[in-house]
Structure formats: C-alpha cells, structure tokens
Structure 1
C-alpha cells in the first residue's frame, strides 16, 4: 500500500493531467454509450453511507473528532463554477483516500478536513494520509478561487472499510447459497455492481471454448437474460464481459467497454475431481472493474479482483486517481484509450521502440546485468518495453518489473536466482521502491483485494497475483463494476 509518514506533507501529484482526463470522462459521456443509467442486480449500499459495515454512523458519534463541521465553507460572489465535486471514498487500513475537484477558471485551491484547512493541500486533487480506523467519517471539502470570488465544494466522506484485505462485505456478493446448484460441473453467477450506472440488460457475458468432452461452447447473454450459467468442464478459456447498449455493440475494440477473466475447469481423468483455476487480469489493460468469489466443497471461499473502494467509485474517479498516482512517463497508459481502457505500458505508444520512453528501463537493466554478472550471451537484454527473447527467466523478469533485481548476488550468470527462496525473503511492501518500475502494475496491487493483482505477465512469481483455484468447485461469482 502507498503510505505517508507521520508528519509528511500531503501527496499532490499530476493534478492537471488528472483533471484533463476527467474532462474526457464526464459522466454524461461515459453513460452515453450505454443509454443512461439503470439498476443493479442487488445493488450494494450507497457509497455515501457506512458501506464498510463497521457499525459506526458515517459522520461519527456526535461530538467525536470526526464529526462534520456545523457549517459549510464560505462562498463569496464571483467564484468559479464547480463542475465535478469531490466524491466519497472507501478505503482500508494503509490505503489513501483520493479527492478531486474540477472548476473552470480556478487559480487556487484549499482542502479542508472537518472544516480545518490542511497545510499544503492546495492542488486540484488531494491524497489523504494512509487511512486508520479513526479516520472513518472524516469529511473533506475544498474551496476554489479565481481571484474574484471563492466557491466551496460539497462535502465528501471518508468511509473506513474494516476488512484488512480491502474486500467487499458479504452483502456485495448476495446470497451465494441460493444460487442454483450445477447439474454439470459448477455454477457461474454474474452480478451487476455498477452502482446504478448501467442496467442488467446492458451488461453482457461471453464464454467461448471447447468442453472437456469436445463440445463447442458459445454462450453470449446479458445478465438480465442469464444471471447464471451451468458450466461443463472447459479447458483454457476466457470469460468476457461487456457494457454496451445491445449485444451487437458488445465488441473488443479500443473504443469498447470490455474486460475478461481467465480460467480453466478440467481434470486429468474421470477418477479425479474437477479443478478450477482462474484469475482477474490486468496484464493487457483495465477495461471494467472485476471481482471474483470462488467457493468449493472443501471449504475454499476466496475473493480476488478490484477492492471494495474501487467498485464504489465512478470510473472517472478511478482514471483520475490513476493519473494522479503514476509518474509522468506512465500518463499515456491512462489517456491513450480513455475513457475505455488503461493500457499496460507495453501497449502505450511512448514505451514502444522509437517512442519517447522506449529506453525507460535501459539503465536499470544495465545495472542489473553488471551487478549480478549476468551473461548477455545467455540472457540477452530485453527490448522495449521489457520484451525478453523468451519467458524462461520469470524470476528475473518479475524482479526487474518490481525494481528489486539490482542487488549483487541476487542472480547467477544464467539469470536464475542464487537463492531459490528469494521471494519469501522479500515482503510485497519492498516492491517498487523507486523508478524505473512498472507503476501500472503497482497501482492495481494497491487497489486490489489483499493487494494481489496480475499487473504483468509474470506477476504470479512469488505468489503475488490474483490467481485462485481449488478442487471440487461449486460456484464462481463474478461482479462487474463501472
């Protein structure tokens, strides 16, 4: 998780870039592709309430330190008009709430917590310090000025999710016990968790592949028409999700809202139990918020995907948060295909051979090879963006992506680890300590359930990916968010 030391200045980054993207990501523009809003299938509690289910009212007890101020901030005539107000944020311990505002013509900003000015918080966006339970119900607002007058924003509440892994509450998943049992191998269930932005009739799921018995499978439905699927065994498949006005518009293009999970549902032979293995993935891009819950007869009950706070916020906030988090070299990954996709660095033009940042990793790669005595005749240095000749050195690739490969004695001349237990000696908090690093992947870990994500092809090295599996699976519930 990203953290701020006690007494550190608030984190204010890439404000202009984030707001430029928000202009492209207005709610009207985003919803136009889907014909407006709609209802969720079992919509979770509104994000402005105590959505984490921790038993405390959103504003704290009367007279508590986090009680909101009795009166709002002062507004004076002639101030800029606010077009995007700060939105509520739900965060778990160690995560940072992100607040932003858009006001055309604004020349100065001052953020407030519970009516008190925050020192140094004078940008269009504000990252609060790493959250603690005592922050639950804190109220944030901003005053924007243009030299003529001042306009006060509406309040935005910080809601603290008591789940240490940042996962959603049980209510988010609905009653899994009431799902129809499988007559074949396992039940897939699909949930609309777009917070009312999109109706069930405009969220589509698709499974294509070949069953274990050789039967061709081609299922393509809306959640409204088919909220569940009785699945046979399917080998090495993808489950796609789309948001579109009609099924004809559910396509896989750079200007489409779509995403997928990867899975395998198989067994060696009829004497063995069925096995499910799957993951949410950000290896290629972010398109839609996805979370999965796997339940099996042996007691396995595990969740992966985007965290609860990410599901509760609008995608325009997610895009803006991403742009305000990553360094300048990575901004194009969030703008190149906005508002549809945030692409992985290798898919961004500036990281391609000949691009402005094609050499982003070059000096670090040189350092890693020199510090460890890696023989380039055995392991050629990668091309942009970290394109290795082959994938036979997953530990080396992962260590470079995470910026933990440069200590002498980490790798042998052939690019394999000196200590096979290297990853067990290094906590995830030690990853991405400095650039160059894959800050795209870091973002999805920061906002993933249990800080796990598939941010690049070998992110499973060291067991840090969103991969899950079990024998004798019963059901997989997939939540689709906006």
Structure 2
C-alpha cells in the first residue's frame, strides 16, 4: 500500500525540512528499512558508518531518511512492528545494533539522546502478508507534534490522531493536568509520558499509585473481581498477596498477578507481562483499570465516561483522549483495552495519509 506524507505545518517547516524514515521487521524477524522505491532493505550495523551516514555528538548514525521534497508518497511492502518516524528541521538519529537484529530508537527519557533536541513523532503499523493494515498514532512514549492518519480504501476512509494546534495543546496541558503531570513537559520539544519521566524508580513521583495499589490488594482479599476477555469470564481474588484468577467454567488453571509497583502500572509491564496469552490478557485488563482508576468499580470497565474521575489516575493519558479524534488515543501501552486506542485497521487499504501539523 502507499504512504503519503502531507506538510500541514502552515509554512513553519518547508518540505525539505521534514524528514521521514520507515523501519520494521520482515517475516524472518530482521529489521529493515524501506527505500524510496518501496523495497524492504535489511538493516546492517555497517549502515551506521556507510557513505552518507549521519554524525552527531561524535558518533555515526545510519541514514535511511528522505525529505518530503525528495519523495512524499512511497510504496510500503508487508512488514511487521513498523514505525514511520517523522522529524521537523532535523533528521532523526537511529543506530543499528546486534547484527541488524535491533535498532536504537529515540528515547525521551535520556537527555544525552541525540534526538533530545529534535522535534519528532511517529506512526506505528503492521501490514501482514495478506495486505491487512493495522496502525495508530501514539503518545505512549511522548507527544512531539500533532498528526492525523487517514486510512483510505475503496469503501471509505478512517481517521485517527490530533487536530488541535501544538501551541494550544501545550498550553492546555499545563492548565488542566495535576501538578505532578506538569513535570512531564520538556519545552520546547515534547511532553513525555509518565514512565519516561519522574513516575518510575528513583523519580519524584515513583510511588504515585502506591496507596491505591495497597487499597485494592486489601479490598480484593475479601471481594471478587470479574474480568471478561475473548476466552471467557474469569474471577479473581487476592490470595497470599497474589491476585489469582480462574475461569468460571471450573477449570483448574490459575492466572496470576504479583503485587505491582507504580512503575509497573504506568509501563503496563513487569508483573503485567508474565505467563501465557490468557494471563497477559487478564493482566492488561487490570493494568488498564489501574490507569483509569476504576479497579474498585469493575462495572465501569469499558465505560469511558467513568474513566479518570478519581485520583490517582493516569492524567497524561486522559489528556490525549480529550484532545484526539473520537477521544481515541494510545496514552499508555494497553490503551486498546475496551477499544479506546487510536488503532485503525482495514483488510484491503489503498493508502495511508499522514498529515503533519504544527500551529
């Protein structure tokens, strides 16, 4: 299918100042990049030092990028775990490692990252071998600038993303979120997510969810929690400090969640990413309920109007839902629980239009 990149920055950036790079995995799990002819080219560590490579902070970086002035529409072949990085005024700096099996991505948690002073954002996607497209905008790690994706097919189109101006978003964010979450603003470049900021181990707000975790663990020692996933209905209760679930069909299988940390909740990992597929689906439900502060009121699960009403909650994520098309956003890693994410999909799409905005 085609990806089309549209400069909607109102002349803040010319098309020769807007860069994009498309990377992802082929069917063998090898990281690749897409060249301007639409070929999927395996990444190699030697690309870091190849002719035309990028250099910053005394280190070489691979150069897989194009400007919109060079090419604004490109054929994208089937690929998995894909990312289309867009950067404004500067290329984004990527490095291939582990014999091409991994890429060092931009990381807003580290001031020493070469992209710390680069305006960038990205779209995530997969195009499987049948041509089925799954993709989304994301604020899971950070917000750089507003983008809209429009998936176009013969039977219509779907949109996701953010339509508001960048300056309005920065201003509204500072005005409306609690003071702890205001610390996530890294002007002028981005607003980072809680787990990229002070809400992880060693940070000023590393214990943000601790009281809520303690209260919920105590509550569910004497109460039961019902969780529904595609595989059935499961009943959970805290036993020996472990949240233990079993299916209502009386099977003997047990699915567990160890006592989490606040960081586990924001990251939706750690104790929420252990075990087999069914266990991980249950864990995703509980992680989402913590972020949305509805764990003590499971009847409100999948009722977005009831999310984030009480503290503590992930108010960073709430903000992006309030300011996104149809209130759909990826504000934390399992925001697709109850179909609240910005994911759009189609079995036979023609084009993905990526509209890049500023003010």
The TM-score with structure 1 as length reference comes to 0.52
- Residue 350 of structure 2 aligns to a residue whose secondary structure is strand
For residues 198 and 275 of structure 1, the distance between their equivalents in structure 2, rounded to whole angstroms, comes to: 33
Q: Greater strand share, 1 or 2? A: 2
Q: 2:194 aligns with which of 320, 323, 345?
A: 345
Residue 196 (structure 1) aligned with residue 11 (structure 2): yes
CA RMSD in angstroms comes to 2.2
Q: Superposition pairs for residues 206-217 of structure 1, below 5 Å? A: 206-211=21-26, 216-217=32-33
Residues 211, 232 of structure 1: 8 Å contact kept: no
Structure with higher Rg: it is 1
Superposed counterparts of 1:136-155, under 5 Å: none
Q: CA deviation at 1:368?
A: 1.7
Could you say which residue in structure 1 is the equivalent of 2:81? Answer: 236
CA contact (8 A) 1:289 1:480 kept: yes
Does the residue aligned with 1:445 lie in a helix, a strand or coil? helix
User: Which residue of the other structure, out of 207, 212, 224, is the alignment partner of 1:359?
Assistant: 207
Residue number in structure 1 paired with 2:252: none
CA-CA distance at 1:289 after TM superposition:
1.3
- Asked whether 1:379 is paired with 2:261, we answer no
- Larger relative CO (CA 8 A, sep 6+): 1 or 2? 2
- TM-score after normalising by structure 2: 0.70
**Partner residue in 2 for 1:400:** 290
The answer as to 2:306 corresponding to 1:458 is no
State the match for 1:389 in structure 2: 271
SS in 1 for 2:183: helix
Alignment partners' CA distance in 1, 2:189 and 2:259: 33
Gap regions ≥5 residues in structure 1? 1-185, 268-272, 411-418
TM-aligned CA deviation for residue 346 of structure 1: 1.1
Residue-pair matches, total: 268
Residues 416-435 of structure 1 aligned to structure 2 (within 5 Å): 423=301, 426-435=302-311
Q: Report the secondary structure of 1:478's partner residue.
A: strand
Q: Report if aligned partners of 1:211, 1:217 keep a CA contact under 8 Å in 2.
A: no
Q: Which of 145, 148, 152 is 1:295 aligned to?
A: 152
Q: CA 1:234 to 1:402, structure 2 compared with 1: closer, same or farther past 3 Å? A: same
Of the candidates 249, 260, 264, which is equivalent to residue 122 of structure 2? 260
Unmatched 5+ residue regions in structure 2? 36-64, 95-104, 107-114, 222-237, 243-255, 274-279
Does the CA contact (< 8 Å) of 2:197 and 2:203 recur in 1?
no
Change (3 A) 1:371 1:215: closer
Q: Distance in 1 between matches of 2:319 and 2:304?
A: 13
Displacement of 1:248 in angstroms is 7.6
- Rounded to whole Å, the distance in 2 between the matches of 1:317 and 1:455 is 18
Q: Are 1:296 and 1:471, in contact at CA under 8 Å, matched by a contact in 2?
A: no
User: SS at the partner of 1:190?
Assistant: strand
Is the 2:209–2:261 contact (alpha carbons within 8 Å) kept by the matching residues of 1?
no
